[in-house]
Amino acid sequence: MNNNSEITEKINNAILEGIRKIKGKELTIIDLNTINYTECGFFVICHGNSTTHVSAIAQSVEETVKNETGINAWHSEGYKNSTWILLDFGEVVVHVFHEQARSFYNLEDLWADAKITKTE
């Protein structure tokens, strides 16, 4: 495993831990490398039951990744409304949705050609 993939794995693990701490729902990983997508390697998707829950999940992810890897999100957006918060960690992009927004945008179907792993 090269250094970049080790860092990506550490970031992924910290993201999953951050989501689980706040009980994010229907945790899904989309491996975009399997379809040669070039913008990033992975999407991590989950949802919360309220805007407060969505915001808490996203904050937990940012804090956990920072504490475990020393890496900050390159970019974040969506905290103002907290119906869809995006956290960009470079190779990994996290999408934390409100349940209704997740159903509406349905990223899993949009990226159905990629390898999709559901986890809890």
Say which amino acid occupies 59: Q
Q: Which residue bears the tokens 């999940």?
A: 57
SS3 57: helix
Helix (H) or strand (E) holding 112: none
Q: Distance between CA 48 and CA 83 in Å, rounded?
A: 9
Residue-wise pLDDT for 9-68, tens only, equals 999 999 999 999 999 999 999 999 999 877 899 999 999 999 999 999 999 999 999 999
Q: What is the pLDDT of residue 78?
A: 97
32-49 burial, b if ≥16 CB within 10 A, otherwise e? beeeebeeebbbbbbbbe
Is the pLDDT at 69 greater than 60? The verdict is yes
pTM of the shown model? 0.94
Per-residue pLDDT averaged across 98-108, rounded? 96
In the chain, pLDDT over 70 holds for what percent of residues?
A: 98
Q: How many CB atoms lie within 10 A of CB 25?
A: 15
Compute φ and ψ for 81, nearest 5 degrees.
Answer: -100, -25
Say which amino acid occupies 22: I
Q: For the chain, what is the mean pLDDT?
A: 94
- Taking CA atoms, 63 is separated from 49, 78, 102, 109, 116, in Å, by 21, 17, 23, 29, 25
- At 2, the pLDDT band (50, 70, 90 cuts) reads low
Domains of the chain: residue spans and CATH: 3-114 (3.30.460.10)
Say which amino acid occupies 75: H
